[in-house]
Amino acid sequence: MHPPELRQHFASDNYAGICPEALHWLLQANASGHQPAYGDDGWTHRVSDRLRDLFQTDCDVYFVFNGTAANSLALAAMCQSYHAVICTPVAHIETDECGCPEFFSGGSKLLITEAESAQARRGKLTPEAIDFLATKRSDIHSPKPKVVSITQATELGTVYSVEEVCAIAAMAKRHHLKLHMDGARFANAVATLGCHPSDITWRAGVDVLCFGGTKNGLPVGEAVVFFDRELSADFAWRVKQAGQLASKMRFISAPWLGMLENDNWLRHARHANAMAQRLYAAIHEVPGVRVMHPPEANAVFAHLPRAVIDILHGQGWRFYEFIADGGCRLMCAWDTTPESVDAFAADLTAACTAQA
Amino acid sequence: MHPPELRQHFASDNYAGICPEALHWLLQANASGHQPAYGDDGWTHRVSDRLRDLFQTDCDVYFVFNGTAANSLALAAMCQSYHAVICTPVAHIETDECGCPEFFSGGSKLLITEAESAQARRGKLTPEAIDFLATKRSDIHSPKPKVVSITQATELGTVYSVEEVCAIAAMAKRHHLKLHMDGARFANAVATLGCHPSDITWRAGVDVLCFGGTKNGLPVGEAVVFFDRELSADFAWRVKQAGQLASKMRFISAPWLGMLENDNWLRHARHANAMAQRLYAAIHEVPGVRVMHPPEANAVFAHLPRAVIDILHGQGWRFYEFIADGGCRLMCAWDTTPESVDAFAADLTAACTAQA
Amino acid sequence: MHPPELRQHFASDNYAGICPEALHWLLQANASGHQPAYGDDGWTHRVSDRLRDLFQTDCDVYFVFNGTAANSLALAAMCQSYHAVICTPVAHIETDECGCPEFFSGGSKLLITEAESAQARRGKLTPEAIDFLATKRSDIHSPKPKVVSITQATELGTVYSVEEVCAIAAMAKRHHLKLHMDGARFANAVATLGCHPSDITWRAGVDVLCFGGTKNGLPVGEAVVFFDRELSADFAWRVKQAGQLASKMRFISAPWLGMLENDNWLRHARHANAMAQRLYAAIHEVPGVRVMHPPEANAVFAHLPRAVIDILHGQGWRFYEFIADGGCRLMCAWDTTPESVDAFAADLTAACTAQA
Amino acid sequence: MHPPELRQHFASDNYAGICPEALHWLLQANASGHQPAYGDDGWTHRVSDRLRDLFQTDCDVYFVFNGTAANSLALAAMCQSYHAVICTPVAHIETDECGCPEFFSGGSKLLITEAESAQARRGKLTPEAIDFLATKRSDIHSPKPKVVSITQATELGTVYSVEEVCAIAAMAKRHHLKLHMDGARFANAVATLGCHPSDITWRAGVDVLCFGGTKNGLPVGEAVVFFDRELSADFAWRVKQAGQLASKMRFISAPWLGMLENDNWLRHARHANAMAQRLYAAIHEVPGVRVMHPPEANAVFAHLPRAVIDILHGQGWRFYEFIADGGCRLMCAWDTTPESVDAFAADLTAACTAQA
């Protein structure tokens, strides 16, 4: 009667379910009887405070349903329709949000950096690229740059260092641009860096962070964290108007308690990252496999022979091809098992060997 | 450590938690391991089929996060920015969505009917009112009417009969207007009417139904049901662009299984309706209480003396005042207990008596 | 070969042509050879300076194509999509812009005052009405009031006194609302008041004025004048993005020179106003005619017997019926002749007499 | 007292004034006394009929204020916010409209073709490029392609042949895409091709043409011509809502009579084209000058030495650099004189010689 369970796969970290700690607090929230709606409940207040504690600063926190909305609402709060957002060609807001940033902002344009440099090939924005786009046009026939958006960890599985974010923030500031961080896999980045979450956000010059929860183990929901609280003026109205205000908010917010207590969010991220390292170690020297770069977060990007891809797909393994010219994307989740990694690596090795 | 449980209250049916049947399937969905994202999973397909079975027709079904989005996306699919939607002055889309219909449609205007007639005072649209607004202006300086929107059950706790909806649909058709039904409390209406859900929707001429799940016992999520499938062309893109596509969709869809199996959705609605009747019976003859009209769904609307309101609020009872000139709104949920109704009625009676 | 000239009529002041002074400078601008586009020409700079001189302050001036755009862009600059604009039920932005304010702002809602009070029946907003709407709702389910919009002269041919505008501005300020003035017939209002144009604008607390040129004798174009220059940040980009930036701008701007020199704008307005007074004097005591109120600008609003309307229309006279419950609108233009007024009054009197 | 006349220059064809024939009819329209507003006048009807005659088909014609609006409204009529428009990287709608297409459509994304092929370097779209982008993505995370937009003549001064447009239209049709033609310089293209205007538009498969008037000698205004009349359903409301409906419409429409009678529009275009040929002949063999390609319309694109550019600018010559990697753009207008061309060529030659 149930849908058949997928063989564990490497398609996306959002194929995974709810982690036990998040589920625990979802059930607790449900057991608390009637609660005020629209976020005016004790659970939501408590989680917001926990997030402020986590970041060690008095930031504004809002919960929305998904990353599409989190990023697009944050960007809309940072720019008008005739403004522009600087980002990479592989930025998720550019490639996979079906124009939601443009829709929510009423037409803001994304200014895309060149894809040529070494950093760009690793999915990263550079201060130089920002400088170029921020000064390329100043006439009114082109949208005025207003925001820089970076993804941490990037869409290509790399991670900006604290120094890199600081340098980006400095260049953004120099051009009076705000700095947005798409943190769909923020946990994986922090796990890799080993820094305090504040070090890679507001202490590095980030104005707004979209803190991803779903890929880290939540059922639904992301947090928009405004370190620059001037940018969140009337943001509650914006969230409501955009259809992103949950009536039974506690079921969106309470599960975060499970992520935040005992640093479970980092523990899950570390595990996913470790699985990516395990996978990398197992396949990067296999003949026929060309890994783009060593994984820094929870994904391995590799070019595989066509025939190998077909064999693996035929065996029931799932993963995406052609992600941002990075070849095949092999993504690990909070619950990816070593056994699954090993089985996949074995099948991959066998297929490559057969092809050779 | 938990937020204090509210004394059972009458503020809103969205203060209630998740009903057991929905929770059961949420947990089952989580136990099914990895599943494809974005609705391409077995749970979502199964629930969609169940909804088609329920309505006995080949409708298109989409799941979104809340009623704000469901209604606003449905309306946007039915009209362009320079079109207009005819509705009552108490329509939720007019009074409580913070302009989301206008935002999602890019500027469509709501044309509001007069609030004077007997039907209007009960929150209902009439064919005459539609006829008037549909023909009042035909010049290009005024948005062209394109859609009629009715709420079933209404915001004032009344229910349109099948004949009433048919008459509205006929007038809409006469003016080439599409018919949208805001069914945030659709279950309560069907429970009252005792008709088949198809009788009050597509068989009566409804083009699109927003079928509310949250107020009926779900944690989060509503279904947009297109009976006119031409209207849903490319709707999946619209949902994605508007930030309403859940990545872990199964947690939005699977709980519907619990609502639909064994007609639990109707059982819960009948219970909530019965609690409203119980409350009505207990208070409508209390001196000082002026009930607007006998409840037809799950709410009682009554004018209460100011002092009585203050006393009840002081005792911890929660309910809204000044809803659409209907006075105090006393709303019952799927889990409102008879004891809670009786206790509230007793406190209300005592307060009124003390005042007299 | 030409379209037949209309018998002089009273339908609208935008049926009139270009006044000689405006035409003179249009031709001069054309005779000046090649000129830079998009407003970077000497004509546009000169006219902008003249407008600053006129208002005796360092305001920001932008030229757009029509009043629809002027008002809607100004309002969009003053509020976000989830904000609201307070105005009267007869405000042109509410009744005759086909939702352009909502479209340009991305969904801002107009909050409409009640139509009951004596002032409201004369088309005017009151401080009390603003106070009521500004405080009626403060929850996030309703758009947050951000702007007050008044029309000067009003859509019903009345004129706000300096004191009235000051009182409105004070109430607006008290609620942190900005004050917008739709000045499609600003000239007629100033002509009536006999005050300095600064007295009824920024000195009275107006933040942005849309200064109408077309109805006053220009071929095309209005000026948006920002007295609060913070509101005009990046407004040039907004104008461009909204399709309101003329490439050959000098043909929009230069004709203003003709209006401004020698106070021609006031002379034309005084003439139109005088024609309305002449018409009023000639008809307000005719049996069957019920004038709404003595004209204060360039229009008379009167209820006429159905048969009389039909007779006059049959004679080729043009005017609108049913304007904002004000009955027939008889509008005078900068070039309406006394002979035309007298002929119309005679026909009207004859028709009424025949009916009596 | 007048702004100083520019030395004749090569910056843009919109630096030129009103051609005598257009001015003649503007003055005639003004001499016709009062006329109905908003396009319900005889002038506008007559010009619309003339345009239908010109194109030999029963198309729908609308007049708007500028090319930004014409293109953006046409595109918005052809796609929803979650749809995409395929165009070249040098398309004016992409590079110089400040996001108006995105703004008017509520977020439609432009899908930009690669800039590598020989055709692309000449500013042209190819069937292959359309095929690639139309099939690259079909998932709901990317906007669905709906329209192909080509510019005729292109932004790089080239002209699509009838065969090229037919091939593009066929590929568009194969993918169920509509075909839009940005005809800001349509006259110059037709003058070059020597074909009938219908041959390069609807007979070649174009659905909507934005027919430029301003660059061809009008003061203000463009025509949007719908050959596919289903696409213009309710377009009048769209125009009004977008602030593009002129009240004194006759001053926008009547000047077109001057363009259309005696094929003046083609005569002016032929002249401008001839001036570009004259300029090309005079400079393309000058040492240091590297002309991109022989001119096909009214502009020459050439790379010039930095020092030469500076010298010419210092002499008062105006032209744009860095247009779409095409180097300096030398644009001729309907009134560019041979003397001006010769003088510029002489100065250019002298500067190059001095540099050599």
Facing residue for B140 by CB, picked from D81, D106, D236: D236
CA–CA gap between residue A125 and residue C302 (Å, rounded): 67
Residues of B with CB under 8 A from a CB of C: 81-82, 84, 95-100, 102-104, 106-109, 140-143
* Nearest chain C CA: its distance from D261 CA (Å): 14
Measured in whole angstroms, the distance separating CA D199 from the mean position of its chain's CA atoms is 17
Q: Is the pLDDT of residue D5 over 80?
A: no
Query: Alpha carbon of B332 to those of B97, B351, C117: distances in Å?
Result: 22, 21, 39
pLDDT at B127: 97
Q: What count of other Cβ atoms lies within 10 Å of the Cβ of residue C223?
A: 24
CA–CA gap between residue B313 and residue B308 (Å, rounded): 9
pLDDT at A324: 59
CA–CA gap between residue C250 and residue D71 (Å, rounded): 23
Chain D CA closest to residue A143: D98
Q: How many contacts, defined by CB atoms under 8 Å, are there between B and C?
A: 59
For β-strands C208-212 and C328-331, DSSP reports them as unpaired
Question: What six digits make up the tokens of A107?
Answer: 């037409």
Chain B CA closest to residue D77: B80
Q: What count of other Cβ atoms lies within 10 Å of the Cβ of residue B20?
A: 12
* Nearest chain D CA: its distance from A142 CA (Å): 4
Contact (Cβ atoms closer than 8 angstroms) between residue C42 and residue C183:
no
Query: Alpha carbon of C130 to those of B318, B323, C127, C159: distances in Å?
Result: 30, 21, 5, 18
Residues of chain C found within 8 Å of residue B99, distances taken between Cβ atoms: 81-82, 84, 107-109, 143
Per-residue pLDDT of chain A (356 residues; tens, 9 = 90+): 455 555 678 999 999 999 999 999 999 999 998 999 999 999 999 999 999 999 999 999 999 999 999 999 999 999 999 999 999 999 999 999 999 999 999 999 999 998 888 888 899 999 999 999 999 999 999 999 999 999 999 999 999 999 999 999 999 999 999 999 999 999 999 999 999 999 999 999 999 999 999 999 999 999 999 999 999 999 999 999 999 999 999 999 999 999 999 999 999 999 999 999 999 999 999 999 999 999 999 999 999 999 999 999 999 999 998 765 658 999 999 999 999 999 999 999 999 999 87
> Tokens 């024609």 belong to which residue?
C275
Task: Judge: A238–C80 Cβ closer than 8 Å, yes or no.
Answer: yes
CA–CA gap between residue A8 and residue A15 (Å, rounded): 9
Secondary structure tally for chain D: helices H, strands E: 14, 10
Residues of chain D found within 8 Å of residue C215, distances taken between Cβ atoms: 247
Facing residue for C2 by CB, picked from D6, D32, D220: D32
pLDDT > 70 fraction of chain C, expressed in percent and rounded: 97
Q: What is the mean pLDDT of residues C9-21?
A: 94
Chain C CA closest to residue D22: C30
D169 pLDDT band, cuts 50/70/90, is very high
Residues of chain C found within 8 Å of residue D242, distances taken between Cβ atoms: 100, 103, 242-243
* Nearest chain C CA: its distance from B72 CA (Å): 12
CA–CA gap between residue D45 and residue D27 (Å, rounded): 17
Cis peptide leading into residue B153 (ω within 30°): yes
Residues of chain C found within 8 Å of residue B84, distances taken between Cβ atoms: 99
Q: Is the pLDDT of residue C178 over 50?
A: yes
C119 pLDDT band, cuts 50/70/90, is confident
Per-residue pLDDT tens over the stretch D313-337: 999 999 998 765 668 999 999 999 9
CA–CA gap between residue D73 and residue B18 (Å, rounded): 47
User: Best of B87, B95, B103 to disrupt the C interface by mutation (most C CBs within 10 Å)?
Assistant: B103
Chain D CA closest to residue A81: D103
Chain B CA closest to residue C144: B98
ipTM, two decimals, is: 0.96
Q: How many contacts, defined by CB atoms under 8 Å, are there between A and D?
A: 59
Measured in whole angstroms, the distance separating CA D232 from the mean position of its chain's CA atoms is 21
Residues of chain A found within 8 Å of residue C106, distances taken between Cβ atoms: 81, 106
CA–CA gap between residue C315 and residue D40 (Å, rounded): 20
Task: Judge: B107–C99 Cβ closer than 8 Å, yes or no.
Answer: yes
CA–CA gap between residue C49 and residue C46 (Å, rounded): 5
Task: Judge: A140–D98 Cβ closer than 8 Å, yes or no.
Answer: yes
> Tokens 């010419």 belong to which residue?
D312
Segments in chain B below pLDDT 70: 1-8, 323-326
Per-residue pLDDT tens over the stretch B311-345: 999 999 999 987 656 589 999 999 999 999 999 99
Of the candidates C333, C296, C300, C340, the residue with the CA atom closest to the CA atom of residue C317? C340
Facing residue for A82 by CB, picked from C80, C141, C237: C237
Q: What count of other Cβ atoms lies within 10 Å of the Cβ of residue B49?
A: 11
* Nearest chain B CA: its distance from C99 CA (Å): 6
> Tokens 């000047």 belong to which residue?
D255
For β-strands D222-226 and D60-64, DSSP reports them as antiparallel
Residues of chain B found within 8 Å of residue C97, distances taken between Cβ atoms: 141
Q: What count of other Cβ atoms lies within 10 Å of the Cβ of residue D293?
A: 17
Contact (Cβ atoms closer than 8 angstroms) between residue C335 and residue C275:
no
* Nearest chain D CA: its distance from A157 CA (Å): 20
D1 pLDDT band, cuts 50/70/90, is very low
Query: Alpha carbon of A13 to those of A109, A329, B244, C243: distances in Å?
Result: 29, 11, 19, 43
Q: How many contacts, defined by CB atoms under 8 Å, are there between B and D?
A: 51
Choose the weakest-confidence range: A1-10, B204-213, C43-52, D13-22.
A1-10
Task: Judge: D42–C16 Cβ closer than 8 Å, yes or no.
Answer: no
Per-residue pLDDT tens over the stretch D45-66: 999 999 999 999 999 999 999 9
Residues of chain A found within 8 Å of residue D96, distances taken between Cβ atoms: 141-142
Task: Judge: B82–D237 Cβ closer than 8 Å, yes or no.
Answer: yes
What pTM was computed for the model? 0.96
The domains located in chain D, with CATH, are 20-262 (3.40.640.10), 264-355 (3.90.1150.10)
Contact (Cβ atoms closer than 8 angstroms) between residue D351 and residue D42:
no
* Nearest chain B CA: its distance from A4 CA (Å): 7
DSSP 3-state of A9: coil
Inter-helix orientation angle A264-283/A186-193, to 10°: 80
Q: What is the mean pLDDT of residues D254-258?
A: 98
Chains that touch A (3 or more CB pairs under 8 A): B, C, D
* Nearest chain A CA: its distance from C348 CA (Å): 51
Chain D CA closest to residue B102: D106
Q: What is the mean pLDDT of residues C121-142?
A: 96
